[in-house]
A and B are shown apart, each in its own frame.
Chain A
Amino acid sequence: MIALPSTLLKILLVSTLITALLPSVFYRHNYKLSYHMLLVPIFACFIESLCVSYFYIYSGRADWVMFSAGIVDIAFYLEPLGILFLNLLTGMWFIAILYTIHHMIRIDAKDLARFLTFINLTIFAAILIALSKNLFTMFIGYELLTLFTIPLVAHHNRSRPEVMTYVKILFSTSIGLFLPFIMLVHHFAGHTGFKLDGILPNNINVIYVHIMLALAFFGIAKTAIFPLYSWLTSAMIAPYPVSALLHAVAVVKAGIFCIIKIIIYIFGLQKLSILLADYNWPLAISTFTLIYTSILAVRTSLVKHVLAYSTIANLSLIMMSIFLLDPKSILAGLAHLIAHSFTKITLFFSAGIFYTLSKSNNLGDLRGIGYKSPATAIFFVIAVLSLIGVPPLAVAQSKDLIWQAVSDYKYSDILKSALILYVMAVIYYMGKLCYLIFAKDGKFTESTPFSGMKVATALSAIGIASFPIFERFMNSLLWTIL
């Protein structure tokens, strides 16, 4: 019975890779049907990941050392955080691919097979991060994630300067800071395997621990923390499905998961909270990012940039919650992560449907579009309400958890006022979007046809409404480590 999950783990990894590479088999055959066939193995992957979590909960651990070269072990194992991320990814994967196929065909994009292959490979890389057993495997997944997204970001136009910004920020931080962090951990601890309560020995100088924390904190630039957030807005030159799936869910959430895994399994939650008791600089930077990007979101005039800055603000909210370094606050952060994933993917999906009609990214060109695609507009409004925090929608519940966690902290007044400022900004910029969508002087004549895009948006909107299920699933998984 014990051996079963590790076989499942192998099957899961191999089948995701094969599924990821399937679209390149359909190369040059532009049949809609053949693309839809891709949904079957993806759904199978989702079922597999559910099976893996079921077996994990009832029968225990699984691990697989795939390959070992020198000090680099490529090894995978099952642990609660990884399973949570795995299920989030595979579930979203199905919805997103359904959306992507229809969206890309509708805007007449070229090289659809290559595009789908790279989206799938990106998900595969994120799964590598979720199941990684040590820092090296995590680093490999992290770098592959960046690599596979580059062709997606550059899909419409390769020579845009934003592509180079994206590449430079993500790679220079990961090579310049994250890799030295891993090497230092290996140097001090002798290995990089994940272990509950941390692997760093106790006799390291406090300064070194602070330096290593800074290397990890800024090295994982996928969390879009203050000086290093501009890659996310640069990435918005990508087609809508990429912005939706990757830059609202897979890539940025992978960054957050890396941070949480490093806090819990490398530094140790207890040790870190003692270390940061007096000077909690990550918390300060996160709070600053939250306020700063909320202001930026108010000032911008592009739809995608509003959503991107809102993503950055939410990520820093999650980071803020995590760096309160209390089991309750980390749970609150994870809950917000899941709630935000569903909310933001719905927002991007409906904005993408609007884009197929308006062919423009400017806020002003959306005037009155809601009357021509009412169903999409309703999903959009649901997501906006969720993002603002109207109960009983998803973000309302996770924000409540964060509020409770913040209340226990000694400087809770500052954090609470930052939160209130953030909510006010959200009400302003999201309210502006809703107002524009339902403005009376729209010039649109045609309406959006029924397609898989709307089905996918509806599925993600259902996700927003059914958040308590995910929360219960999360709590049942995470009680062992938090």
Chain B
Amino acid sequence: MNIFLTNNWLILNVLIPLILAIIAILSKDVKRARSIFKISSIISLFLLFFMPEIGTSYYLGGFEAPIGIEYKLDSLNAIIIIYLHIIMTLLSISMPWLQLMLEDGIKESKKHYIYGIFLLAQTGYIGIASTVDLFNLFVFIEISSLATYTLISLGNSRHAIVASLDYLIVGTVSATFILVGIGMFYSITGTLNMEDVREALKEQFVSRILISGSLIFCVGALLKLAIFPLHSWIIKTYRHTSSHILIYTASISAPIGFYTILRFIHTCIGSDIFNLIGMNQIFQVMSMITMIAGAYLGNRVSNFREIILYSAIVQMGYILMMISATDNISIILQYILADGFMKFIFFTYVSHQEKYSINISFAYITIYGILSNLGLPISIGFFNKINLLTILLDNMFYTSFIATIIATVMSINYNFKMINHVADNIGEPEYNITSSAGIILASLFSISLIFYGIL
């Protein structure tokens, strides 16, 4: 049994949510669907005990790499898969209060679909994290996107449908870019397996197809992430999405987006070719513009949710800067995941304060998240910021160093606006303890990331 689970761990991670999603949709009963959702997170946590060693490959259907599809567990995606499971578990812990809001305004006969769609999105995201096949990556991006469009349209307001349509258009465009990029790589290497692509590229000169392929792939991925010039859709879309949906989508989509870029750089083309064709300089300029423009725009808005969105854009700028400046994956992942946990905390807070006043421990955890967002001691964000600044100084990127400092100083203002907002909403608690359990765990997990960065 153990051996079976360990050998098939990679595919089971994808299959279990998929099968449970179908069961949940067929169950036609909201209570059953809820328990299936919880069971899924319990099973995936249970599966973590059988995690195989780093470097294990799984070939779908037993077909070897060039023909078949390869799933691989390496140092890049192991922590991402664990993170996805953790977020799902935190969601099911939050379910007692979350389900009230999720099912609000949906017909009784259709309530069970929500849980099925959540599981389907989870399938897509875990699939993106597991595979090392370029086309398979695209398929999973589509699966997760389709599920996310549905989730976003579930919001209470009429605008949610429009927001979902906006997201659909942007998602389609970015997926098309990614597909075109993949096609270009296939045309010069003749394989879709990322490691084979890298081997094939080593024997070639740098061609224009390689450069344009990488550019187009990265534009697709960056559009989906909403890096500065391409950011306006995220503001439009997330403004009208219900915040309880955003707890999941916001905390997952950015880490997965950056994971896609990291996977592309480190496994598909290799970081030396990435630097050789000057992509790192493009990334660096983009990230500088993103962080400063995001901080500037963030100071101009006063709505809490919009401030979070702009601060998310600033954080993306920092992460992109880190990706362009270093090969040290564990430091980058530490930053990305800490940012994901912060998004979880913020949107839990947002969806809470729409209905209730919050209690004091909830407020302190949210303030911890905001301080981490700003990079003040002694939160995880402080260690991340120190890592980023060290990398920039060691590589003599003085302009980027100054830009990072300026962006941080500019973001003090809106971060303290957020803290003021939290302090205004403190009141007598009207709910039970489980509602703050999710964010307490999220903050603990984010702190424990310090130890991941050391390794």
Contacts and interface: CB of A to CB of B under 8 A. Distances in A.
Interface of A: 68-72, 136, 139-140, 143-144, 147, 158-159, 164, 167-168, 171-172, 175-176, 179-180, 183-184, 186-187
A180 B389 CA distance: 8
Contact of B405 (A72, A176, A186): A176
B173 interface: no
A171 B450 contact: no
Interface in B387-441: 387, 389-390, 393-394, 401, 405-406, 408-409, 412-413, 416, 420, 423-424
Contacts of B405: 175-176, 179-180
Nearest to A158: B423
Nearest to A151: B423
Nearest to B383: A69
Contact of B412 (A158, A168, A186): A168
Say whether chain B's binding surface is mostly helix, strand, loop, or mixed.
helix
B386 A72 contact: yes
B371 A179 contact: no
Contacts of A139: 377
A168 B377 CA distance: 16
Contact of A183 (B378, B389, B416, B424): B389
Q: Which residue of A69, A136, A140 has the most chain B CB atoms within 10 A of its CB atom?
A: A69
Given A140-B377, A140-B378, A175 B389 contact: no
A69 B450 contact: yes
B140 to A, nearest CB: 33
A184 B386 contact: no
Contacts of B413: 164, 168
Nearest to A183: B389
Given A175-B375, A175-B376, 20 more contacts: A69-B451, A70-B386, A70-B387, A70-B453, A71-B390, A72-B383, A72-B386, A139-B377, A140-B378, A140-B382, A143-B376, A143-B377, A144-B377, A167-B416, A168-B413, A172-B412, A176-B409, A179-B405, A180-B401, A187-B394
Contacts of B389: 179-180, 183
A175 B393 contact: no
B409 A172 contact: yes
13 contacts: A70-B331, A70-B386, A70-B453, A70-B454, A136-B386, A140-B378, A140-B382, A143-B376, A144-B378, A171-B376, A175-B412, A176-B406, A179-B405
Contacts of A172: 409, 412
B442 to A, nearest CB: 20
B386 A164 contact: no
Contacts of B382: 140
A183 B390 contact: yes
Nearest to A180: B405
Nearest to A154: B423
Nearest to B420: A158
A125 to B, nearest CB: 10
A179 B408 CA distance: 11
Contacts of B420: 158-159
A295 B406 CA distance: 34
Contacts of B412: 167-168, 171-172, 175
A65 B327 CA distance: 29
Nearest to B392: A183
B204 to A, nearest CB: 37
A251 B75 CA distance: 45
A167 B415 CA distance: 11
Contacts of A68: 454
B402 to A, nearest CB: 8
A309 to B, nearest CB: 26
Nearest to A176: B409
Nearest to B417: A164
Contacts of A71: 386, 390
Contacts of B378: 140, 144
Contacts of A140: 377-378, 382
A379 B389 CA distance: 51
Contacts of A164: 413, 416
Contacts of B416: 164, 167-168
A186 B377 contact: no
A143 B408 CA distance: 14
Given A167-B412, A167-B416, A168-B413, A183 B393 contact: yes
Interface string B85-126: 000000000000000000000000000000000000000000
- Residue from the set B382, B386, B394, B420 with the largest chain A CB neighbour count within 10 Å: B386
Contact of A69 (B371, B408, B454): B454
A180 B331 CA distance: 20
Contact of A147 (B371, B406, B424): B371
A139 B386 CA distance: 12
* Closest 9 pairs between A and B when the two form their complex, measured CB to CB: A140-B377, A176-B409, A187-B393, A172-B409, A143-B377, A171-B412, A183-B389, A69-B450, A175-B408
A212 B233 CA distance: 42
A303 B387 CA distance: 46
Given A168-B412, A180-B405, A70 B390 contact: yes
Interface in B307-337: 331
A23 to B, nearest CB: 14
B393 A184 contact: yes
A168 B410 CA distance: 10
Nearest to B389: A183
A140 B379 CA distance: 10
A237 to B, nearest CB: 15
Nearest to A27: B360
Contact of B383 (A70, A144, A179): A70
A136 B405 CA distance: 17
B243 to A, nearest CB: 24
Contacts of A171: 376, 409, 412
A72 B389 CA distance: 12
A110 to B, nearest CB: 13
Nearest to A140: B377
A368 B409 CA distance: 48
B77 to A, nearest CB: 23
Nearest to A68: B454
A227 to B, nearest CB: 16
Contacts of B394: 187
Nearest to B384: A70
Contacts of B393: 183-184, 186-187
Nearest to A147: B376
B372 to A, nearest CB: 12
